[in-house]
Chains A and B, each alone.
Chain A
């Protein structure tokens, strides 16, 4: 199985801050990397797929980059509704695997 490791596990930030979350794969996954946002009691929501493609309807303050083993999710200017947990997920091979999550909290 491909292991996905996110850092940091938690992050405190303020509205308006620029935030970056990192995801590392245990082997090369080309660009088969997806990012999700999850709020308490809700299903994960797709933000970005193929490492850098914004899902329809997702605000442009979210962006993704990377290829191979190292990837980043950036939120350019945090909004109150962005405080949530973020997961990366590889779709290069089965079983599909997720990172352990990064909880973004209000400072």
Chain B
């Protein structure tokens, strides 16, 4: 069983960079792909991207120019940076896990953290 917990500022100014960290506990960090997913108020989820323990990443092309996902295996954490944010980036941000070699489903999720973009 995996537990995930997001942390980071809940308010970011327009044009600045959103930074979040996901702390992972429970299972082996190297057995999963680690994703960031966001959900604007009243809308469906949107996959932002993922990272494997090797450091290999995949990003959603719609956000690729602004997104960077990294990991710190010594701390069992992975992080999201989203630059040049606008009000459209206001959403609940989740981190989630996908078992390596699986069908690609998100089996565990963090509780989510609301990030509001506003001056």
Contacts and interface: CB of A to CB of B under 8 A. Distances in A.
Interface residues of A, number: 26
B53 interface: no
If over half of A's interface residues share one DSSP class (helix, strand or loop), that class is named, otherwise mixed; here it is loop
Nearest to B94: A43
Which interface class (under 10, 10 to 19, 20 to 34, 35 or more) fits B?
A: 20 to 34
B62 interface: yes
Contact of B45 (A42, A50, A87): A87
A100 B44 contact: yes
B104 A96 contact: yes
Contacts of B105: 34, 46, 49-50, 89, 91
Contacts of B62: 95
Contacts of A95: 47, 58-62
Given A34-B103, A49-B102, A95-B60, A43 B109 contact: yes
Interface of A: 1, 31-32, 34, 36, 42-46, 49-50, 53, 55, 87, 89, 91-92, 94-101
Interface of B: 35, 43-47, 58-62, 94, 96, 98, 102-107, 109-112
